[in-house]
């Protein structure tokens, strides 16, 4: 992938202030996602925009928590978009998909897609890699409505509301996506107590640690909110950070193993599909074989096709102890 099309993630602190930030731009990786979905028919532009914003937001959240496992962001409800999902792994590989039943007009807000009658929800799931047998993933769920039950029309508003309710942290999130780029800027207030970048700072008062009361955070969040979607999509990271925060003292993080480059990857495999088919049971599989002659499964995330003929299907149930041919290939 050329330098021009490399996706990138930048993390920074505001020196002496209880504020941190991250900026992500998904370029070549996002275009690869859309290319694969186009092969399966593609999505309406509004759904493409939603999935792009979800991808950028999920990468930012994964970077924010440094979680050794998958972070899964879901939006679902009672509109034509029944479900939209983005999954990000600890190495910032990501995949995303949506289930759409019905027409989605261009430019419609979030509520028209997933919260028509107020039943929309946003869920964030953390599934650890080293999960013990019987251990359930952590999941937080919030409605797609604000404090006064008003419908939230932008994904950024939903996630800001989620962070405030679940983490008690003020957060400003700017998201944008189109057919070429998916990008996001996150600004978040840090607790003043114990934050290493605050040592010796007399500017931070104890009351500034309360939700919604830190003046430094509000100043920086206001600057971030001035960023227009077209600027987020067209300007490079250095230009964005300079334009917004040229008067601030930024501390940039450079990972020891080089720049962080989010990328598209899918973890589907023949083995996982075989396990899913076993769960359907013998009768269901035999019914499909009788009707179609083979069982064909397509991955919603990457479009990979998996086919099981009658012999393959018989092996699933006759030799349970034998694993079906597996592929470790990342698509």
Classified as helix, coil or strand, 200 is coil
What pLDDT score was predicted for residue 192?
55
Best CA proximity match to 27, nearest among 42, 9, 7 = 7
pLDDT in tens, 20-44: 999 999 999 999 999 988 877 889 9
* Percent above pLDDT 90 for the chain: 53
Q: What CA–CA distance (Å, rounded) separates 195 from 20?
A: 11
What pLDDT score was predicted for residue 201?
40
Q: What CA–CA distance (Å, rounded) separates 291 from 236?
A: 53
Phi-psi map region of 194: left, alpha, beta (phi>0 left; psi -120 to 50 alpha): left
Tell me which DSSP letter residue 145 carries: B
Q: What CA–CA distance (Å, rounded) separates 152 from 3?
A: 37
What pLDDT score was predicted for residue 282?
82
Mean pLDDT, the chain, integer: 84
Q: What CA–CA distance (Å, rounded) separates 164 from 167?
A: 6
> Going along 178-219, which residue ranges are E strands?
182-189
Tell me which DSSP letter residue 114 carries: H
Q: What CA–CA distance (Å, rounded) separates 186 from 47?
A: 22
Is the confidence at residue 291, as pLDDT, over 70? yes
User: Domains in the chain, ordered, with CATH?
Assistant: 3-264 (3.55.30.10), 270-318 (3.90.1280.10)
Is the confidence at residue 8, as pLDDT, over 80? yes
pLDDT in tens, 155-193: 999 999 999 888 788 999 999 999 999 999 999 998 755
Q: What CA–CA distance (Å, rounded) separates 22 from 207?
A: 25
Q: Phi first, then psi: what are they for 49, rounded to 5°?
A: -65, -45
Task: Read off the pLDDT band of 13 (50, 70, 90).
Answer: very high
pLDDT in tens, 68-89: 899 999 999 999 999 999 999 9
What pLDDT score was predicted for residue 204?
41
Q: What is the mean pLDDT of residues 262-284?
A: 80
Strand partners, 19: 189
Question: Are the C-beta atoms of 235 and 59 separated by less than 8 Å?
Answer: no
Largest CA distance in the chain: 75
Q: Tell me the angle at which helices 28-39 and 45-65 cross, rounded to the nearest 10 degrees.
A: 140
pLDDT in tens, 293-311: 888 877 777 777 778 878 8
196: part of which helix (H) or strand (E)?
Answer: none
What pLDDT score was predicted for residue 324?
45
Residue count of the chain, please give it.
331
Q: How many CB atoms lie within 10 A of CB 175?
A: 26
Rg from Cα positions in the chain:
22
pLDDT in tens, 109-145: 999 999 999 999 999 999 998 888 888 889 999 999 9
Is the confidence at residue 18, as pLDDT, over 50? yes
Classified as helix, coil or strand, 90 is coil
Question: Are the C-beta atoms of 187 and 245 separated by less than 8 Å?
Answer: no
Q: What CA–CA distance (Å, rounded) separates 62 from 9?
A: 11
């Amino acid at each position: 992938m050329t330098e021009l099309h490399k996706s990138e993630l930048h993390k920074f602190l505001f020196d002496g202030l209880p504020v941190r930030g991250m900026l992500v731009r998904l370029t070549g990786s996002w275009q690869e996602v859309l290319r694969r979905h186009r092969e399966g028919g593609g999505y309406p532009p509004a759904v493409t925009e939603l999935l792009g914003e979800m991808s950028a937001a999920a990468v930012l959240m994964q970077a924010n928590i440094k979680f050794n496992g998958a972070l899964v962001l879901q939006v679902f409800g009672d509109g034509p978009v029944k479900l939209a999902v983005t999954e990000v792994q600890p190495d910032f590989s990501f995949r995303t998909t949506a289930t759409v039943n019905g027409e989605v007009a261009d430019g419609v807000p979030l509520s028209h897609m997933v919260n028509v009658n107020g039943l929309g929800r946003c869920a964030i799931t953390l599934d650890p890699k080293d999960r013990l047998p019987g251990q359930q993933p952590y999941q937080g769920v919030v409605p797609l409505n604000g404090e006064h039950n008003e419908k939230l029309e932008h994904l950024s508003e939903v996630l800001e509301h989620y962070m405030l309710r679940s983490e008690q942290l003020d957060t400003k999130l700017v998201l944008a996506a189109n057919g070429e780029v998916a990008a996001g800027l996150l600004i978040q207030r840090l607790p003043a107590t114990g934050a290493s970048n605050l040592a010796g700072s007399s500017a931070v008062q104890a009351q500034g640690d309360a939700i919604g009361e830190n003046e430094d955070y509000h100043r920086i969040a206001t600057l971030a909110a001035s960023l227009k979607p077209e600027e987020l999509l067209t300007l490079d990271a250095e230009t964005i950070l300079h334009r917004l925060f040229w008067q601030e003292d930024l501390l940039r993080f450079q990972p020891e193993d080089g720049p962080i480059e989010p990328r598209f990857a899918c973890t589907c495999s023949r083995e996982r599909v075989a396990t899913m088919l076993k769960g359907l049971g013998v009768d269901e599989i035999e019914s499909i074989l009788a009707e179609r002659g083979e069982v064909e499964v397509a991955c919603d995330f990457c479009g990979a096709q998996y086919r099981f003929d009658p012999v393959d299907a018989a092996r699933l149930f006759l030799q349970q102890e034998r694993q079906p041919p597996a592929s470790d290939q990342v698509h």
